[in-house]
Structure 1
Amino acid sequence: MGIVALAVTEGMLHFELSMAYEVFGAAPAGVTVPWYDVEVCGSDAVRVGRFRLEPDQGLDRLRHADTVIVPGWADTEEDPPADLIDAVRAAHEAGARVASLCTGAFVLAAAGLLDGRRATTHWAHTGALAARHPRVEVDPDVLYVDNGSVLTSAGKAAAMDLCLHLVRLDHGSSVANAVARRLVVPPHRAGGQAQFVAAPVPTRDDHPLAALFPWVIERLDQPLSVEDLARQAGMSSRNLGRHFSAVTGTTPLRWLLTQRIRRAQELLETTDDVVDAVAAATGMGTAATLRRHFNRTVGVPPDAYRRTFRSRPGTDPTEDHRPRQG
C-alpha cells in the first residue's frame, strides 16, 4: 500500500510515534494483502521523550510518501520547526495523504493544511489550536476527523483509532480488525458518524456493562430492545441508561444502532450478500430500514458504500478508493 512516512522532530511524543509504527510496521499474521513500507523521516537525530532516534530518511523524503503521519509534539506553545512545516506542506502538495496524531495538528495547521477544514487535537489543546489558527474549525468533541487527504486525531488512544481507520480505508474491516486483535484494542470505538467518532466505548473491563457489550455483539441479528439489554445486565432500564451515558456517552438504542451499522459495513465489505440479507443479519429487518439508517449514519447508501470499500480480486492496490470529503 505504498510508503508511510513518520515525520519526526526534536521533542516529538514517543507514544504516538511508537503506536503508529506498530500499526503500519508489519502486517498481522495471516494477512496477505500488500502492506506498507514504513520510513522514519527527520532532518537529523532527534530526542523522542527519553530516547534518541536516528531517522531512516531526511524530511525531503516526505514528498515521495503515499501517507505522512505527524505524531504529537510536546511544546505546543512554540512554533513547529520550519523545515518540518515546509516538508509536510510539500508532501501534501505532491499528493500524499497527511494525518496528525494528537498535537501534531499544530504542524498541519502551521502548514496551512487545516485552513477552512474541520479538525481536532487533544482536548487540552483545542482552545490553543483554535486561538492560534482561527481559520481552522476546531471540534473538541470527536476522536478524529477525516477530510479525505487531511486527517487529524485527538490525544493518545484516539491516535490508534485514526491509524486503524486508515488501515480500514486501505484494506477493509477484516484487515483492520486483524490489526486491532494483534494489538489487543477495539477495531472501532462506537460513535454516530462514519468518518469521526463522538462516543467512545472504553477498552477497560471494570465497568458494569463490560459483560453486556460482547453479549449484544453476538446477537445483532436479533430484534433487541432496551428491556432485553437491561434484563441481561441485571438492572432496570433507567439504571441501564445511566450506565450507558456514563460509559459510552450515548443511549443504549443509539449504541445498539451503531453496532448494527458497523456490522453492516463489515458484511458489505467482505461478503456478496444482498442488502436484504445484510439487513436480516444486522437485526434491521428490511432492506428499506437498513438503507434509511445506513444513509443517515454513514452518509451514503449501502450499495455505494460497498462499491467504495469492497476489496475485489485484481484491484490495483495503488488505486485510491478513499472517499473525498471537505
Structure 2
Amino acid sequence: MATLRKRNGKWQVQVRRQGHSPVSKSFINRKDAEAWARDVERRLDQSEALPARQASDSRTLGDLLVTYRDKITPHKKSASVERYRIDKILRHSIANTQAAKLMPAQVASYRDERLESVSGETTRQDLVLLRQVLDVARREWGLKIAANPVDDVRKPPPAKARTRRVHFSDLRAIAKGLQTFRNPLLRHVILFALATGMRRGEILRVEWQHVDQKQALLTIPVTKNGHPRTIPLSRRALKVLADLSVTASETEELVFPISANAVRLSWQRLRTKAGLNDLRFHDIRHEAVSRFFEAGLTLPEVALISGHRDPKMLLRYTHLDPRKIAAKL
C-alpha cells in the first residue's frame, strides 16, 4: 500500500509490497505522487502473477551481484573498480529484492537516492553495471524476466569532458613540490606521461624489453581497450628513459619500479603541496594529446600514440589553445 506525507514542501510517497523492497519518491504535486504510486502498485501486482517456475526463483539481486563479482569481474582489467562498485550496491536495500520481481520504479528510486550523495556519472555507471548483471543472469543463469528493468529507467547523462590544461605555472608548481620528494620516480613518471600521453597503468607496466631506444619505439602489450600498440618516443621521453637506465639494476624488469598505490598517494601529496587540488593525474594525458595536435600531428597519428580507437573519444581528450590557432592563422 502507498503512504503519502508532506515534508519540506514536497510530497513523499512510499509503496510497500510483500516480497519487494520499499519504493519511494518525492514530488512537488500531490496528484503526481498519487499517480506514480498507482503505477508502481500496478507494476508490482502484475509481477506477482508470474508462472510458477519464475515465481519459485528466490534469488535476490544481491545473489546475482555476488555471482557476477566472483565469476565475471575477475576477468576484467578494471576488476578492482568494479568489485568496489558491486560491494557498494550490495549494502543498499535494493540488493534484497527478488531479481525476477525487480521493477523499473525500484531502480529509479535507487537512482534518485544515489544522486543525492554521488555524481551523475557515478550513478550512471551503477546503472550500467546493474544492466550488465541482469543481462548475463537472463542469458546464462536462467533468470526469467521479460525485459531488463534498467532499460526503462532514465539514466543521468555522461559526464562532460574535462577541459583542464596543464599550464606552465602548474608545471613550475609541480617541479617545486617535487624538490622535497625522496623518491625521484614520481618525477620521471610525470615527465614520461607528459611526453607520451600514456595512462598511468600503462606506464607502470613498461618493461625494459618493451623499449627500443635505437628506433625510438615503445611497445605497449597490455592496454585498457585490449589492443596492444607501438608508439614513437620523443626526445623528452628518451631522456627520461636514459636517466632511469643509469640507476636501473641489471635484474630490474620494470622501467618504473613503483606501485600504482604509491604513485596515487604521492600524487595526492604533491598536488596538495603545489596548491593544485583541481588537477588530476589523468589530466596529464589530456594535456599530452592536446600538445600532439598543436604540434601538427594528424588525427590518425595521435590515435596511434594515444591508443584511441574512436575518433569521437579522442576529440573529447583534445583541448586546443585558441591563441595558438590564432597565431597559425
TM, length-normalised to structure 1: 0.29
TM, length-normalised to structure 2: 0.29
Structure 1 or 2: larger helix share?
2
Q: Which has the larger radius of gyration?
A: 2
